Amino acid sequence: MSGLVADHCSRCGLVKRPGDIFYLARIILTCDFDGELAELKAEEASAGMSAEMAKASARSEEELMNEVYQELYFYLCKGCRDRFVKRAF
Ligand SMILES: [Zn+2]
């Protein structure tokens, strides 16, 4: 966990002073693929696969992995923590 904690709030920029209570928010985003593939005719599937492979090869490995699994960290002051809990979205 070391290295993840900052000296200021990720949201509002409030600088942490000694004794202030801050919070570390860890958000995990995972792909929720249901295992179903849309039905396509053979030609459409072939063309679709070629297009998807071309798109995928244009992006970095990190970008592709982030679409499957990504962890985000935010260091929050008390006020921003409270606002996040009440209304994350
Ligand atoms: Zn804040």
Could you write out the DSSP letters of every residue in the chain?
A: -TTS--SB-TTT-PBP-TT--EEEEEEEEE----S------HHHHHHHHHHHHHHHHHS-HHHHHHHHEEEEEEEEEHHHHHHHHH---
Model confidence at 24: pLDDT above 80: yes
Q: Which residues surround ligand 1, an ion (CB under 5 A)?
A: 9, 11-12, 14, 77, 80
Residue 21 pLDDT class (50, 70, 90 cuts): very high
Residue 7 pLDDT? 93
Q: Where are the domains of the chain?
A: 1-31+39-89
Residue type at position 21? I
26-77 pLDDT tens trace: 999 999 988 887 776 677 767 777 777 777 777 888 888 888 999 999 999 9
Ligand 1 center from residue 28 Cα (angstroms): 21
Burial of 36: CB neighbours in 10 Å, binned 0-12, 13-18, 19+: exposed
Ligand 1 center from residue 11 Cα (angstroms): 5
Ligand 1 center from residue 89 Cα (angstroms): 16
